[in-house]
Amino acid sequence: MIVEMPFACRDANTWGSMRRPKHGLEDLLGCRERERVCTDAMSPLPVAKFETGGELEASRWRTTLEPQGGKIIARWADGSAAAVENVYGKGKVLCLGANLTLACWAKWDAAKLGIFEGLLGRAGVPCDTQSPWVRRRRGPDGEVWFVLNVYDHVATLQLPAAPKEVWVSPDGSLQGLRLTLPPGETWVAQMPLCPG
């Protein structure tokens, strides 16, 4: 599990809690929030440096974490914890003091994709960097598939059925049920109901 701060910062009455995370969830995260600072006016933005390489800018806020049994895997420039890994049950929880989603907002940065893939690998989640991303929206009579090649190489996908209608495919090609997308390409189609 990957958790981006702020996380569980409300109490039972939805008021902001002074202790974060709330509800004893520091056992899950292996850390708690020590300090959160708004970074909107900061230039340059604070950067979390991961021990395995890679840097993550703190867009909107910088959260300093206080380990509670977890292991520090990234640090801020002052040496304080920027990300913590915690073993919980049979899995791992990675808590980030910088928000990976916000760091990628409205811009493309392949380095941040590498950080995401590294975190997934660290958490034991296999990451397929050869196949495009597929997002499906299901309705009663069919599905809409959004297929995105977020990589800098050609990606292919074997479809389970032929599309009813292709809505977006500027440079994609479909031969039989094999979809091929160049780097950065998006393919959107109406599909029949498919298993999975």
Sorted by sequence, the CB contacts under 8 Å of residue 92 that are 6+ apart come out as: 1, 85, 86, 122, 123, 124
Q: What is the mean pLDDT of the segment spanning 80-103? A: 88
Under 8 Å between Cβ of 86 and 97: no
Sorted by sequence, the CB contacts under 8 Å of residue 175 that are 6+ apart come out as: none
The alpha helices in 93-149, defined as continuous H runs, are: 100-103, 110-122
- What sign does the dihedral 13-18-24-30 (CA atoms) show? positive
DSSP strand pairing (133-138 vs 186-191): unpaired
* Separation of alpha carbons 95 and 24, rounded Å: 15
- Residue 81: its pLDDT value, please? 97
Q: What is the mean pLDDT of the segment spanning 68-94? A: 93
Q: CATH fold of 2-122, please?
A: Rossmann fold (3.40.50)
* Separation of alpha carbons 133 and 87, rounded Å: 28
The chain-wide mean pLDDT, for the chain, equals 84
For the chain, give every domain's residue range. 2-122, 133-191
- CATH 3.20.20.70 is right for the domain spanning 133-191: no
- Residue 113: its pLDDT value, please? 62
Q: What is the mean pLDDT of the segment spanning 35-54? A: 87
Instruction: Select the more confidently predicted residue: 81 or 27.
Output: 81
* Separation of alpha carbons 57 and 79, rounded Å: 15
For the record, the structure tokens of 95 come out as 């808590």
- Residue 31: its pLDDT value, please? 93
Q: What is the mean pLDDT of the segment spanning 68-89? A: 94
To the question of pTM greater than 0.85 for the whole model, the response is: no
- 95-152 pLDDT tens trace: 999 887 776 665 555 556 667 777 777 777 666 667 888 999 998 889 999 999 888 8
DSSP category for residue 26: H
* Separation of alpha carbons 135 and 189, rounded Å: 11
- 152-191 pLDDT tens trace: 889 999 999 999 999 998 888 999 999 999 998 999 999 9
Q: By percentage, how much of the chain surpasses pLDDT 90?
A: 37
